Amino acid sequence: MANIADIISQAVSASAGKIDIPSNVKNQVLGGLSDSIFGSLTQTAAKPGGIDMVKSLLTGKTAAASSPITALAGNLFTNNVVKKLGLGGGIASALSGIVPSIMGKLSGVLKDQDGDGDVDFQDILIALKGGGAKQSGTSSILGAATGILGGLLKKK
């Protein structure tokens, strides 16, 4: 089973592949998109009520285009990647414009994975961990997200 980090990476590659990204910044852009999306999920999960927002997005109950998590991902990407790399004009707009599409690909990814009949915090952790495989670019983010969600689970 793929973990959320893998799914994000695949969605980023598929969506960004349609945009002519300068080769000298392509890895930074793709990594920045993945980090921004994963960061928006983890930051939201750490807020009061955030787990329910993440759950709603990942189960498809909330449309990605109208989700505050998507807006946060776009802001993180713009501030942490687009501005720092000095990307402007059309390419910045095109890259920022694919964030809702990438988030939309996450919709419905969260399902009952532990067999208890509902989608709960444990299912989120299982989805984050996937089969235990970590990608090099997202392993620290995955660890942080798992830590945040693990801490929230212990509060319940």
CB 57 within 8 A of CB 119: no
CB 2 within 8 A of CB 130: yes
Amino acid at 153: L
Q: What's the pLDDT score for residue 2?
A: 59
SS3 92: helix
Q: What's the pLDDT score for residue 68?
A: 95
Give 39's contacts (C-beta < 8 A, 6+ positions apart).
72, 73, 76, 141
- Cα–Cα dist 45/55, whole Å: 9
pLDDT in tens, the chain (156 residues): 456 677 788 888 888 888 888 889 989 999 999 999 989 988 998 899 988 898 888 888 889 999 999 999 999 999 999 999 888 788 888 888 899 988 888 876 666 666 676 766 676 666 656 543 333 344 444 455 555 555 544 444
The total domain count for the chain is 1
Q: Which domain holds residue 117?
A: 4-155
